[in-house]
Amino acid sequence: MKPELSVPFSNSFSSLPKDFYVKMYPERMPDLRLIKFNSPLSDLLGLPSKDLQQKDGVDFLGGKKILSNQEPLAQVYAGHQFGNFVPQLGDGRALLLGEVIGTDGVRRDIQLKGSGKTPFSRMGDGRSGLGPVLREYIVSEAMFNFGIPTTRALAALFTGETIIRETQVPGAILARVAKSHIRIGTFEYFSRKGQTNKVKELADYVILRHYPDIKNDSDKYHTLLEKVVRNQALLIAKWMGVGFIHGVMNTDNMTLSGETIDFGPCAFMDHFEIDKVYSSIDLQGRYRFSNQPHIAIWNLSRLAETLLPLIDENQKTAIKKAEKILELFLPLFTEFWINVMGKKIGIKKPKASDKALIESLLKNMQIGRSDFTLTFRNLTNLLKKDQEQNWCALFSDPKHPELTNWIKDWKNRLKLNDKNKITINKQMNHHNPYIIPRNHIIELCISQGLQGDLTQFHRLTKALEFPFKEQAHFYDLIKPPNDNEIVHQTFCGT
């Protein structure tokens, strides 16, 4: 008898009461085939990478083969979507296959997206088309390689089905990995039902899993909120440092682990526009680029509301304590943002006073419609003799007086670094990606993939493995779109 595939599951979420999930198997897909397998991530998770690329392993990755030590389940949660509360959402096209403890000692979920209907599908088919799977694989792995906390892609697979969206498209599944899939909306689900005991169980679980250093603190729920606030402030600062717009920052898309989750209508900016919106469903610009920190505060306030009974028995006291923590967000975000952006312009130890220099550059970028990624990456040209005009050429008015003044101010600031130009150049290249997953290239990967050609998808994911390294053979991938290639809107794809 052939031995069972060995995957070292160590499940903990399933030990919570049944109110938190529904145990069930994924739907069996007819013909699972690998599109791409993430061997480095598999190795980190301590999985049998070679076996997972064979038939039994592929069937496991697509949910067709369930192992004896698995406990697949669909998680329940609620959420505020575009400011409106929806009392029950949940994993409508996803299933948690189980948890593994990686070679680094970190516990992570392995979850399927596109695995079929669940009790939370809300009239949907629970499937995913190829496009959203390719998009999430590309963007989530890019975010990881940028050094931004994120869910990751373990594998993308064809299901062998054809599904109906606007047209017929190939069905696909993404095997996704995260430190957990617990969201602010998970807390909201039980809080809105008045089930404080369940909120407490969930909070205790999150503390034990993500913040074990505070598990014995007398004010651990107060500290939990503070830790989540800090992690989210850093996350949003890092997003904005690469021109990333999430597009659907609902409370069910904000994790307690501080990871980026949900890559539906997300996008990376081409030319800089402070209030840029890509998402086709964000009609009011709620989740525009500049508003992301403020939406994070709004979402964290919803989390704070669920924790009030745990923070203090006296509601007024609890509110005051929670408000003090929430007030930390903007100063923390500003500190992190100045650090992220300051290092992008070559400042070794950015200070609060550097905020004006950073904002002045962004103002020039907005007026000059310069490309976000190329403006920062090519800033090192200003360190080279007779190369200033090459950088200025990125702006619509290369000789604008304010741009000239900014260059002078920037060079004066760098003199305080006490470093040579070679060192500054290396630092800037370390903090400014050479390549990002540009919207028009992602769309090209998807459109070609729908025609059966995944060459560009594999090429882009390969290029993004080392996004800070100059790779001449990927030069075509770094260029901004031509006018006829510009992607004006992005879509959820569900």
User: Distance (Å, rounded) from C-alpha 121 to C-alpha 278?
Assistant: 26
- Check: CB of residue 48 under 8 Å from CB of residue 11: no
Cα(first)–Cα(last) distance of the chain, in Å?
Answer: 41
- Give the residue from 204, 197, 207 showing the smallest Cα distance to 228: 207
Distance CA 436, CA 243 (A): 10
| Burial class of residue 67 in the structure, from the number of CB atoms within 10 Å of its CB (0-12 exposed, 13-18 middle, 19+ buried) | middle
User: Which of 29, 35, 31, 28 has the alpha carbon at shortest distance from 53?
Assistant: 35
For 56, the 3-state DSSP assignment is: helix
d(CA 474, CA 459): 8
How far apart are alpha carbons 264 and 61 in whole angstroms? 22
Q: Which candidate, 76, 99, 100, 74, places its Cα nearest to that of 89?
A: 76
User: Which phi-psi region, left, alpha or beta, contains residue 386 (left: φ > 0; alpha: ψ -120 to 50)?
Assistant: left
Cα separation, 299 vs 364, whole angstroms: 31
**What is the phi-psi region of residue 418: left when phi exceeds 0, alpha when psi lies from -120 to 50, beta otherwise?**
left
Catalytic residue among 109, 252, 270, 371: 252
Instruction: Indicate if 91 belongs to the active site.
Output: no
Residues in the chain: 494
What are the catalytic residues?
Answer: 252
